[in-house]
């Protein structure tokens, strides 16, 4: 079967399972959501009305189907806490999380690609060797620990960046970058250590290949060969790793947003869990999982476009 | 075993891990303070003979709280690792060795679970079932199943048609014997690496959940919780953030180094 068609079918099945899992986790709970909303001393008539509104009088599969139908039309119900449509609550905070993720990925790429190349090219230099030993420390440090250390250095000692709050890009771009710098740096340090390491390993492997020797014997400089020949081949491993890192950044931002009090998805998740706002959590989980699934799907596709050999390998 | 100890990562990791365990053991023997004894007159005390690491914002002894947090981290990590390992081997054997319909069902479920980024799946379970130590362990356990299953499945597929398995089969060995006596020892090295890395990942996730206030609940102490409380008073007492951070990083680092060392020795 065609590689792309198979990938698309896999993608659709995963999406179906994600919706199934999200719906049923929130519906296997004992107890009646209607009483949970109204409190213990609600009267019968009120409960009946709310049950009708939540479709609780219908069987589970019918509720799933109607939930799926509404979700596909962009209606995920009303948040208990904010008394707004779940979609509009999420739309208000998704911008923060997106800008945080984009900023983090930019920082990761800016830090890790030069670092990876330097580590590969000068891999016999003792100073670089020492640097390599520290990369396991960066990988092991949880992002919120890094965040606290960065707050300690940059906010308390140097007073350069704010440790909490967020300003919209549209109102003041400079302040927006200032607010996002520490959170994204704390996420990016860990992920760039991983990416630099992958790049280094791949780079060293490519360095001994025949095409590099040919290019060098033509008289091209070592720098030119590194940037124009080897890097182009190593970029494949960078893209795959970046895909894995993207989901990690998204997961990490759940905690980081709470460290820096950024009003994004992560903050919303913490609020909705502590106030037991089920429609909102359900919507958030669904969106994040669908986003990750789509990203993984896109990376598979991009991967096979960059390197056509992959398609054949899987048949 | 000797070849493992000549690997620098493995050696460093083991030394840090052993020192942490020793610290935990000797600390628990000599520690006289209660980790939850509040003494508001003695807030943010500096390091002294009585309180080696000082006290926190409620005047609780930081040393005793670190010991408790270390104990909780290691127990949570260990329970999650062992239960994830066992489940992963069983599911991996089912799907890798037998193939067919169980294989496609298990692979699909594992892939679905993988599409929940980071601690999101645990957060969803905590949202529904409430928080507490037991729920935290269960949520982290469910989160680790996919990784173990993938590794075990790959191993069982790799070896199921190899010569030594066919030979054992022709001597009349049943599937259980083939799976666990003949194939399993061959994938133990890979599983050990996954297990160590999972141990450290569970410690990390537990501290993350506790930082959000959704993992281990008070009065028990945990690194995440200590960091959260320390952050609020970082101006008055930076050491309340630095000490738990250092211990958390060391526990994760030591396990990662061990895992790293094992995998680089195995690859040779």
Q: Which whole number is the average pLDDT over A294-304?
A: 81
Mark yes or no for CB contact A144/B208 under 8 Å: yes
Tell me which chain A residues have a C-beta less than 8 angstroms from the C-beta of B127: 272-273, 276, 278, 281
CA distances from A169 to A88, A173, A177, A252, A266 (A): 19, 5, 8, 22, 19
A2 touches chain B (CB under 8 A): no
pLDDT at residue number B84: 92
For residues B202 and B80, the answer to whether their CB atoms sit within 8 Å is: yes
String of b and e for B211-230 (b: at least 16 CB within 10 Å)?
bbbbbbbeebbbbbbbbbbb
Tell me which chain B residues have a C-beta less than 8 angstroms from the C-beta of A21: 112
Q: State the DSSP string of B46-82.
A: PP-SS-TT-B-TT--BHHHHHHHHHHHHHHHHHHHHH
Nearest CA in chain A to B109: A17
For residues A220 and A134, the answer to whether their CB atoms sit within 8 Å is: no
pLDDT band for A315, please (50, 70, 90 cuts): very low
Classify residue B180 by its DSSP letter. I
Mark yes or no for CB contact A14/B108 under 8 Å: yes
Whether residue B227 is predicted with pLDDT greater than 70 in this model: the reply is yes
Per DSSP, the three-state class of A40 is coil
Nearest CA in chain A to B249: A141
For residues B127 and B155, the answer to whether their CB atoms sit within 8 Å is: no
Which of B9, B20, B108, B115 would best serve as a mutation to test chain A binding (most A beta carbons within 10 A)? B115
pLDDT at residue number B81: 92
For residues A268 and A280, the answer to whether their CB atoms sit within 8 Å is: yes
Mark yes or no for CB contact A18/B115 under 8 Å: yes
Which of the given ranges, A123-132, A288-297, B36-45, has the highest pLDDT on average?
A288-297
Mark yes or no for CB contact B115/A270 under 8 Å: no
Tell me which chain B residues have a C-beta less than 8 angstroms from the C-beta of A278: 127-128
pLDDT band for A1, please (50, 70, 90 cuts): low
Q: How far is B175 from chain A (nearest CA, A)?
A: 29
Q: Which whole number is the average pLDDT over A216-237?
A: 79
Q: How far is A215 from chain B (nearest CA, A)?
A: 31
Compute the 3-state secondary structure of chain A and give helix, strand, coil in percent, each to the nearest 5: 80, 0, 20
Q: Any alpha helices (H) in B212-267, and if so which ranges?
A: 223-232, 239-267
Higher local confidence (pLDDT), A117 or B37: A117
Q: Which of B261, B156, B251 is nearest to B203 (CA)?
A: B251
Per DSSP, the three-state class of A209 is coil
Q: How far is A219 from chain B (nearest CA, A)?
A: 35
A285 touches chain B (CB under 8 A): yes
Whether residue A126 is predicted with pLDDT greater than 70 in this model: the reply is yes
Whole-angstrom Cα distance, residue A162 to residue A260? Answer: 9
User: The complex's ipTM?
Assistant: 0.79
Tell me which chain B residues have a C-beta less than 8 angstroms from the C-beta of A256: none
Whole-angstrom Cα distance, residue B56 to residue B159? Answer: 55
Mark yes or no for CB contact B118/A140 under 8 Å: no
Please tell me which of the candidates B108, B128, B230 has its beta carbon nearest to residue A17.
B108
Whether residue A53 is predicted with pLDDT greater than 70 in this model: the reply is no
Maximal CA-CA distance, chain B: 76
Classify residue B98 by its DSSP letter. I
At A12-26, the pLDDT tens digits run 888 888 888 888 887
Task: Output the average pLDDT for chain A.
Answer: 79
pLDDT at residue number A156: 74
Whether residue A29 is predicted with pLDDT greater than 70 in this model: the reply is no
Nearest CA in chain B to A10: B108
Classify residue B45 by its DSSP letter. P
Number of C-beta neighbours around residue A66 at 10 A? 12
Domain boundaries, chain B: 68-257
Q: Which whole number is the average pLDDT over B231-254?
A: 85
pLDDT band for B65, please (50, 70, 90 cuts): confident
For residues B96 and B153, the answer to whether their CB atoms sit within 8 Å is: yes
Mark yes or no for CB contact A254/B120 under 8 Å: yes
Mark yes or no for CB contact B127/A289 under 8 Å: no
Higher local confidence (pLDDT), A160 or B79: B79
Positive or negative torsion for Cα B162, B163, B169, B174: negative
Tell me which chain B residues have a C-beta less than 8 angstroms from the C-beta of A269: 120, 123
Whether residue A10 is predicted with pLDDT greater than 80 in this model: the reply is yes
| Residue A244 CB contacts under 8 Å (≥ 6 apart), including other chains | none
Which CATH number does the domain B68-257 belong to among 1.10.8.420, 1.10.15.40, 1.10.3720.10, 3.40.50.1950? 1.10.3720.10
Chain A residues 184-213 with a CB less than 8 Å from chain B: none
- What is the token pair recorded at B91? 């599911």
Tell me which chain A residues have a C-beta less than 8 angstroms from the C-beta of B108: 13-14, 17
Tell me which chain A residues have a C-beta less than 8 angstroms from the C-beta of B227: 144-145, 148
pLDDT at residue number B36: 73
pLDDT at residue number B19: 92
Whether residue A55 is predicted with pLDDT greater than 70 in this model: the reply is no
Higher local confidence (pLDDT), A250 or B74: B74
């Amino acid at each position: 079967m065609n590689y792309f068609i198979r990938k698309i079918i896999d993608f659709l099945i995963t999406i179906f399972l994600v919706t199934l899992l999200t719906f049923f986790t929130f519906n296997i709970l004992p107890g009646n959501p209607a009483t949970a909303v109204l409190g213990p001393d609600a009267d019968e008539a009120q409960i009946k009305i709310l049950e009708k509104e939540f479709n609780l009088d219908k069987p589970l599969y019918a509720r799933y189907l109607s939930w799926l139908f509404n979700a596909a039309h962009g209606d995920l119900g009303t948040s208990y806490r904010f008394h707004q449509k779940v979609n509009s609550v999420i739309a208000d905070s998704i911008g923060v999380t997106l800008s945080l993720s984009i900023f983090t990925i930019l920082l990761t790429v800016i830090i890790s690609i030069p670092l990876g190349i330097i580590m590969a090219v000068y891999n016999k230099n003792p100073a670089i060797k020492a640097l390599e030993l520290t990369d396991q420390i960066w990988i092991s440090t949880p992002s919120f620990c890094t965040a606290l250390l960065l707050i300690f250095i940059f906010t308390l000692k140097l007073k350069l960046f704010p440790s909490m709050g967020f300003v919209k890009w549209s109102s003041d771009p400079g302040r927006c970058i200032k607010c996002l710098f520490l959170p994204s740096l704390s996420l990016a340090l860990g992920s760039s250590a991983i990416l630099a390491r992958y790049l280094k390993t791949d780079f060293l492997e490519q360095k001994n290949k025949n095409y590099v020797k040919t290019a060098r014997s033509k008289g091209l400089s070592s720098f030119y060969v590194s940037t124009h020949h080897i890097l182009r081949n190593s970029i494949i491993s960078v893209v795959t790793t970046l895909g894995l890192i993207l989901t990690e950044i998204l997961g990490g931002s759940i905690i980081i947003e709470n460290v820096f009090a950024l009003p994004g998805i992560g903050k919303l998740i913490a609020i909705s869990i502590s106030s037991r706002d089920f429609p909102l959590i359900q919507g958030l989980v669904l969106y994040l999982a669908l986003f990750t699934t789509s990203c993984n799907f896109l990376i598979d596709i991009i991967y096979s476009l960059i390197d056509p050999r992959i398609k054949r390998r899987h048949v | 075993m000797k070849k493992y100890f000549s690997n620098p990562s493995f050696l460093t990791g083991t030394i840090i891990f052993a020192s942490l365990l020793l610290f935990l053991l000797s600390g628990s023997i000599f520690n006289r303070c209660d980790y939850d004894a509040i003494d508001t007159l003695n807030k943010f005390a500096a390091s002294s003979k009585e309180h080696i690491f000082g006290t926190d914002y409620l005047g609780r002894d930081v040393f005793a709280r670190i010991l408790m947090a270390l104990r909780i981290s290691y127990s949570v990590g260990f329970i999650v690792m062992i239960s994830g390992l066992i489940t992963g081997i069983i599911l991996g054997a089912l799907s890798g060795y037998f193939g067919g319909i169980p294989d496609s069902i298990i692979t699909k479920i594992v892939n679905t679970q993988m599409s929940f980024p980071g601690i999101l799946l645990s957060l969803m379970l905590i949202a529904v079932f409430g928080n507490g130590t037991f729920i935290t362990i269960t949520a982290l356990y469910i989160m680790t199943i996919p990784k173990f299953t993938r590794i075990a499945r790959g191993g069982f597929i790799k070896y199921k048609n190899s010569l030594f398995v066919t030979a054992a089969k022709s001597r009349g060995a049943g599937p259980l014997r083939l799976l666990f006596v003949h194939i399993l020892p061959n994938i133990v090295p890979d599983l050990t690496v996954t297990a160590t890395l999972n141990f450290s990942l569970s410690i990390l996730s537990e501290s993350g959940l506790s930082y959000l206030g959704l993992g281990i609940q008070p009065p028990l102490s945990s690194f995440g919780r200590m960091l959260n409380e320390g952050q609020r008073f970082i101006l008055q007492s930076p050491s309340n953030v630095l000490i738990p951070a250092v211990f958390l990083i060391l526990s994760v680092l030591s396990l990662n180094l061990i895992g790293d060392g094992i995998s680089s020795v195995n690859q040779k």
